[in-house]
Amino acid sequence: MYKFFFQLVFKRMDPERAHYLAFRWIRLAARVPVLRTFLAAALAPRYTSLRTEALGLRMHGPFGLAAGFDKNAVAIDGMAMLGFDHVEIGTVTGEAQPGNPKKRLFRLVADRALINRMGFNNEGSAAVAARLAARTPVFRTTVGVNIGKTKVVPEADAAADYVKSTERLAAHADYLVVNVSSPNTPGLRNLQATESLRPLLTAVREAADRTVTHRRVPLLVKIAPDLADEDVDAVADLAVELGLDGIIATNTTIAREGLDLKSPAALVKETGGLSGAPLKERSLEVLSRLHRRVGDRITLVGVGGVENAEDAWQRILAGATLVQGYSAFIYEGPFYARAIHKGLAARLAASPYATLADAVGAESRKAVK
């Protein structure tokens, strides 16, 4: 039904306009008590076998919504209603910014992919912090907060900008993510170099600890799939050295070569980050490499090309305790999370593993042996 509706309506509509229209429907549905209860029962059934502990947090399952969909923390309950076990909001910047000029979001339907150059359009950390502070949750879910650099802030002052967001948002975050891997903010990816990343992460960690004294806010970093293997290793080593809680692998890619893209050439040539199915292989490679490097010392989150339960299962076997999706949600619709949960529960039941935690990194451990 959704796929027919997508072909009939959403496919013909500007992608950003379609996003906000669907977003509005989700938010409205979550405000109607009887409707949201019915939808949650249909779309978010709970499987006790999938219960997950990660980052010191207990979750209904391992599958969450990646950052980028709910930039301003306005639809957390709506996304929980649709079955996502955790919702990562943002990317939020120190100051409000409109993002890049439109048109800035493109669907590559033949490739089940998206290209975006949104540019961290958001209301800013002060406004988002106020919204999170005023929020009365309808559904219990884990809320991650993804922070990035304000575009007009010079690279040399990036740490101060991240600290500003941390001081405003850490108290409202179940976990905090430092995003240094979007290709749509000039100079941002330069911060992935360990000589820049070390002081940045140290400053954010100190700010979070200074701001929130009654608990430790887990801190993660999100990296790009375009890093060379040796740079992936360097980030992994740095994360362990600094006592980071996790790494999210991966963000979007600027690569187009070797991805066997089937969409029109004009679309493929659009600048921005590519997400969706073509990213699947490289994201899995980066995740596997990270797990071989860090083992169980930090939590890994697998994202990029997760279209179905098999993709999510492969991420878990490769070392991901948590898995996220976004682009496939656009193509699969409201039953996306439900299908992944059902498929994961079936795969776990048919596997030699007693729990989901036992399955995490199983393939990576075999490779080491």
Whole-number Å distance between alpha carbons of 108 and 240 = 37
User: Two tokens at 313?
Assistant: 């299962």
Question: Do residues 178 and 220 touch, judged by C-beta distance below 8 A?
Answer: yes
Q: What's the Cα-to-Cα distance from 347 to each of 24, 106, 173, rounded to whole Å?
A: 34, 34, 31
The CA distance from 369 to 366, in Å, is: 5
Asked about 182 being catalytic, the answer comes back as: yes
The DSSP-derived string for 209-238 is HHH--SSPPPEEEEE-TTS-HHHHHHHHHH
- Kindly report the backbone phi and psi dihedral angles of residue 250, in degrees, each rounded to the nearest multiple of 5, phi listed first: -145, 170
Select from 4, 128, 11 the least CA-distant residue to 73: 128
Could you tell me if 95 and 124 are in contact, meaning their C-beta atoms sit under 8 angstroms apart?
Answer: yes
Say which DSSP state 324 is in: E
Radius of gyration of the chain (CA): 19
Pair type for strands 322-325 and 273-276:
unpaired
Which among 248, 252, 247, 246 is positioned nearest to 225, based on CA atoms?
A: 252
Catalytic residue, candidates 125, 182, 288, 364: 182
Token pair of 257, please? 């070569």
Could you tell me if 223 and 232 are in contact, meaning their C-beta atoms sit under 8 angstroms apart? yes
Strand segments (E) across 225-291: 246-249, 273-276
Hey, how many other C-beta atoms are within 10 angstroms of the C-beta on 254?
A: 15
Catalytic residues: 182
